[in-house]
Structure 1
Amino acid sequence: MRAGLTRGVGLAGALAAVLAVVGLLPWLSGRDPALTVLRARSAEQEPTAEALGAIRADLGLDAGPLSLLSGWATGLLRGDLGTSWVSGTEVLPSVAAGLQVSLGLMGAALAVALLVAVVLAAPVLVRGRGTSGAFAAMLAAVPEFLLATVGLIVVGVWLDWLPTSGWQGPAHLVLPAVALGVPAGGLLGRLVADALPAVLDERWVELWRGAGVSRGRVALAALRRVLPPLVPQFGMVAVGLTGGAVAVETVFAVPGIGRTSLGAAKSQDLPLLQGSVLALLALGLGVGALAALARRRLLGPAVRDAGLTLPAARPVRVAPAVPVALAAVLVAVIGYGLLRDPYTIDTAARLAPPSLAHPLGADGLGRDVLARLGHGAAATVGTAVAVCALSWLLAVALGFVPNMTSGLSDIANALPPVIVGILVAAVLGPGTGGAALAVALISWPPLAAHAAALVQEVRASGFLLAQKAIGATPRWILWRHVLPSVTGPVARHAVLRLPGMALALASLGFLGLGAQPPAPEWGLLLDESRAYVERAPWAALAPALALALLAGLAVSLSAYTRTTGKDLPHGG
């Protein structure tokens, strides 16, 4: 009871803190909002002190943070999200229109995800075992922005089968829905396919088959047995769609709420940004609440309080040579690129195809793509290492107070990196530091959960009771026994998540929220190449393949660790 109350208070406090940050964006922003509004209203007008003062007074920006937050909250309770600083129109209709488009896209993406999940799980129901675990894990690891860019190049440009931008009809929905739905479907299919073999080995399945129950009824019953424990994970997948929609809508120029929020952040249209982030946050929390309700309905009143758990999933088998080979290819490409200059501009080589002089071609300014790919590893992977270390330190500290941080963890899990990146960019401006902070803010919950489980296990062990009996002090026990038993396993867990953190940083760079030109960052390289993807697709394929190798490395490391049974708890 006390733990549940603490969790509820923590969740309410974390949600209030996020809402306060959103409401205080005009005050927290490092830029002068009055200058943004002046430029939007009249680009020719001089930004004199009198003109800027008049705008601040008109918008109420001269008031302190408490007055600003109170006014925003009062308007929010009345359903008034304010007026756009750029267009001068009401924010609420723009947010509603964008949300309607995004809901349509997410609905189509969810249909694609369910179709992919059915295809991946069907062999398990038919044969009792599946062989697509590694393939499903690979699909789940591919970032939406990467799949969207590759789909745009191959299907939209090379094959010219489908439109590559806009929102005029069903044909424009296909590529965005596939790019958004396939990774989600890979994760859903992997969850179900991993859990089904253990369920099909349970005693009741044998009894049903012996009684002559049809294969179809057994399969449906097995699915019903599998789904309740997995519904929260399904909810997290749906929450992830809100973050992936930002990148996918940007690639295909879909006028959804994700693209609206990104545009508002870049133009410093803070009222529109506040409304868009609120819509995305409400969407994520609403999906989580629906997932919890669906789980309760699936469990039924008999086992609702006790819950339902699944046996441990069977690990994906990956040979140790696979991550070694992927890492070797990445190291070779990066090492060769580091020997070249990423900033030298050769106008005669603009958009040059791969050759001996430029093994991966040249970009739109004539810079060597291989050199920029190699040096970009420092910005992408190097920053991910710093984020990984910060998340590890934070997780170890918070692992000792799990009840106090549970609510904050729920909020962090409900916020995709892109949404946090947009908020951080609105306050600090786009840059590598802001992107690193955004990823760090949402990377610690799984590590902290692992640390908390280890702390609880160590504290309950018999040898600690013996240490206390012989007079060991709590500080001595902490430094000599508890911390060494926690820091090592959590550090290895954090290293496994390093490629995923690098992919998250690359996604923020791709959206213009991370490293800024002319920095050679992988996500930024992919974004810069989109402008001339029809003439020089190799410039986009090079960073795309590097990111795909990184995703494959993440899957291989995770699968190898699960296979060898090292340190990770179930579901880690």
Structure 2
Amino acid sequence: MRNRVGALLWRVGLAALLVCGIGLLPWLSRTDPALTVLKTRSADRDPDPAVLADIRAQLGLDSGPLPLLGQWLAGLPRGDAGRSWISGAEVAPAVLQALGASLLLMAVALALALVVAAAVCARTLYLGARRGLDGRRAGGSGSAVLAALPEFLTASVLATVVGVQLGWLPALGWYGPQWTVLPALALALPAGAVLGRLLDDRLPGTFAEPWALAAAARGLPGRSIARQALRRCLPGLLPNLGLFVVGLTGGSVAVEQIFDIPGLGRTTLQAALAQDLPVLQAGALALVLLAAVTTAAARLAAGLLIGPALRDGALTSPHPPTPPARTILPLLHGALLLAVVAAGLPRDPLALDTAARLQPPSTAHPFGTDALGRDVLARVAHGALDTLLLALAVTAIALTAGVLLGLLPRLSGPLVDTVNAVPPVLAALLVAAVRGNGTAAPVLAVAVVAWAPLAAHASALLQQERATLHLTATRALGAGPWYLLSRELLPAVLPPVARHALLRLPGIALALASLGFLGLGAQPPSPEWGLLLAENQPYAERAPWAVLAPAAALALLGALAVTAAGGLRRPRRRTTSSAEAGDTAGEQPSPAPELVSTR
């Protein structure tokens, strides 16, 4: 009971800290809120001192941020979230309406994402149920390519091809169920591919466990074995599924803008850019509350599933041996990516040729040219250096922080919920307000939020690992906490979490570049991949090569990351002799190492 109260207080404190930080945003950025509001209300109006003074008096800005924040918090128990600084309308109805649109979009996207995840894992489930996988993953790298596609690019293609050219579904607006299909599909394809890869990563080891082999030997139907294998893998994935729900609600800003959806992510971003603090604070608070409810539901479901796993622990071998990963595919993907970079580096990425605007691929320009006549191959190659180095650095930081905080679930659980509720764009605005614009702003902003899904994954795997019978027996034989952590828990958790981190590498690269395009980092004409996608997106129908080239580079990066991650496996233990086991037992406080070496 005390632990639950402490976790609740910790969660409330984090939410209050986030809301207070947002309330101080204009003063942290050292800008005049009255001037920002004036520009948003009327961009052509001159910033006359009398007009600015009148705005300050209307909004109560002269009293400072703390009285404003206190007034806003005092109205929340009455359901009063204040009035918008821009429109003057009440905030609560607008935020609730935006939340309703986002929840509907999220529900449809989540259903489609589960279908995509099932398709990704279908071959592994089929082979595992029919003849076993012996720890080998059956899935390929196609899902990695799908996971690496940026959402706004997928949304643009669906809106242009399916909505405009074919006319099958509406491509703009928010007026009924059929308007949800295309934006939900744009969100579901990459999210479902990531979920499917995470599940596909765990299934082979589950099918190689003794209970699955014994069930197959006894002639049980493969459908039943596959169903139980899914049940064994779900507890480690449910926390990430909860994170996806919140991410689909608050992080779908680009998709909402492309399809003109009045969702919560778009409303929050527009309020942040306009420094409309009442709307921004209410939107952030709604995202935090949604994250808390979703995470609580995911943990409750995981606890219900882990209960039967305890009873089945006697039949499980927690770490079945796995064969070495194939090296052909990562070498092939790496060679292709290296060839593209090597071919484009000698070219000038900034050379303009207005006479060769939007030229198709040719011998002179293998990837064509963009709207300013610049060589796309040169820009993709030169952008690879900065993009990949920054993405690798952020991935390494996120992986380290995720694993360390995953070891402390009581501390990291509420922190993960709160951090995941903050869209990367909003995090970048907060970071930029404190540190200013520059290369460090997007790096810090993405790193602040990128560790959350890795920490949730590590925490869920640790919880499931601690529930197995072999760990209970090892602890009962006298193994100490350091032995359990270094020889049992970390070797079991690090490989799947590291593969998860590599799977998110292309998304991190895109997030970094996209934030730079928003003015929170590198500016044009920088050849970052996200900038290339955003710059050439308006010309996707006329010159698709200008968009397909950086998108293909991102997809190739995703395929390389996932196929290379296949080599991250739990190391095999060397079988020890009786004499060696006796020596090891002498070094440890119990014969637990002998138990581990002989299982």
* Fold equivalence (TM over 0.5): yes
Aligned counterparts of 1:251 and 1:565: Cα–Cα separation in 2:
49
Q: Distance in 2 between matches of 1:26 and 1:164?
A: 36
Mean Cα deviation higher: 409-418 or 102-111: 409-418
Q: Residue in 1 aligned with 2:65? A: 65
Look up the equivalent residue of 1:548 and give its one-letter code: A
Q: What is the TM-score of this pair, normalised by structure 2?
A: 0.75
| Contact in 1 for aligned 2:109/2:185 (Cα 8 Å) | yes
Query: 335, 348, 351: which one pairs with 1:341?
Result: 348
AA in 2 matched with 1:72:
W
1:561 match: secondary structure: coil
> Which residue of 452, 465, 482 corresponds with 1:460?
482
The CA distance in 2 between the partners of 1:194 and 1:390, in whole Å, is 22
Deviation at 1:153, TM superposition (A): 5.5
How far apart, CA to CA, are the structure 2 residues paired with 1:32 and 1:109?
Answer: 39
| Residue of structure 2 in register with 1:78 after alignment | 78
- 1:509–1:522 contact (8 Å) kept in structure 2: no
- CA separation of 1:242/1:426 partners in 2, compared to 1, >3 Å: closer, same or farther? farther
Are residues 1:56 and 2:63 paired?
no
| 1:31-430 equivalent positions in 2, closer than 5 A | 31-127=31-127, 128=129, 129=132, 131-132=138-139, 134-152=141-159, 155-156=162-163, 161-200=168-207, 216=223, 219-298=226-305, 311-312=318-319, 319-388=326-395, 407-424=414-431
Cα 1:285/1:32, change in 2 over 3 Å:
same
CA distance in 2 between partners of 1:511 and 1:559 (Å): 35
Say whether residues 1:538 and 2:575 are aligned partners: no
> Displacement, 1:546?
1.5
CA distance in 2, matches of 1:205, 1:393: 34
Separation in 1 of the partners of 2:408 and 2:115? Answer: 41
- Contact 1:14 / 1:408 at 8 angstroms: preserved in 2? yes
User: How far apart are residue 525 of structure 1 and its match?
Assistant: 1.6
User: Which deviates more from structure 2 when the two are superposed, residues 261-270 or residues 4-13?
Assistant: 4-13
1:112 Cα offset (Å) = 0.8
Deviation, structure 1 residue 526: 0.8
Deviation at 1:439, TM superposition (A): 1.0
Specify whether residues 543 and 199 from structure 1 end up closer, same or farther in structure 2 by C-alpha distance, changes over 3 A only. Answer: closer
Q: CA RMSD in A?
A: 4.5
Residue number in structure 2 paired with 1:522: 529
Q: Which structure 1 segments of 5+ residues have no match? A: 465-489, 567-572
Partner of residue 25, structure 2: 25
Q: Map Cα deviations across residues 325-364 of structure 1 (whole Å, 9 max, x no partner).
A: 3233333333443333333333222222223343322222
Equivalent position of 1:467 in the other structure:
none
Deviation, 1:114, is 1.8
Q: In 2 relative to 1, CA 173–317 (structure 1 residues): closer, same or farther, beyond 3 Å? A: farther
Q: How far apart, in 2, do the equivalents of 1:3 and 1:182 lie?
A: 38
Equivalent residues of 1:30, 1:428 under 8 A apart: no
- Residue type matched to 2:370 in 1? D
Does the 8 Å contact 1:141/1:555 carry over to 2? no
CA distance in 2 between counterparts of 1:119 and 1:389 reads 30
Code of the residue aligned with 2:281 in structure 1: it is Q
1:110 Cα offset (Å): 1.1
Q: Closer, same or farther in 2 for the Cα pair 1:111/1:405, shift >3 Å?
A: closer
Mapping of residues 453-532 of structure 1, within 5 Å: 460=482, 499-509=506-516, 514-532=521-539
Counterpart of 1:470 in structure 2 is none
Contact 2:246 2:421 (8 Å CA) reproduced: yes
Shift of 1:386: 4.9
Instruction: After TM superposition, give the deviation of residue 124 of structure 1 in Å.
Output: 4.4
**Which whole-Å CA distance do the structure 2 matches of 1:236 and 1:348 have between them?**
48
Q: Kindly state the Cα deviation for residue 87 of structure 1 after the two structures are TM-superposed.
A: 2.8
Larger mean Cα displacement after TM superposition, 255-264 or 129-138: 129-138
Ranges in structure 2 where 5+ consecutive residues have no aligned partner: 463-478, 487-496, 574-599
1:62 match: secondary structure: helix
Q: Tell me the equivalent position of 2:15.
A: 15
* Cα deviation digits, residues 361-406 of structure 1 (max 9, x gap): 2222333322332332344224335545665786799799886666
Q: In structure 2, how many angstroms separate the alpha carbons of the residues matched to 1:407 and 1:310? A: 32
Instruction: Report which stretch shifted further, 284-293 or 493-502.
Output: 493-502
1:540-555 to structure 2, matched below 5 A, reads 540-555=547-562
Alpha-carbon distance in structure 2 between the residues aligned to 1:564 and 1:499: 27
- Deviation of residue 218 (structure 1)? 5.2
1:75 Cα deviation (Å)?
2.7
Structure 2 vs 1, CA of residues 3 and 202 (structure 1 numbering), >3 Å: closer, same or farther?
A: same
Would you say the 8 A contact 2:437–2:519 is kept in 1? yes
CA-to-partner distance for each residue in 1:218-239, whole Å, 9 max, x for gaps? Answer: 5545544443443223223323
Can you list the C-alpha shifts for 1:238-257, whole angstroms capped at 9, x where unaligned?
23323542232233333322
In the TM superposition, residue 138 of structure 1 has moved relative to its aligned partner by: 4.4
Q: 550-559 or 275-284: which moved more?
A: 275-284
Mean CA deviation greater in 215-224 or 67-76: 215-224
Q: CA deviation at 1:435?
A: 1.4
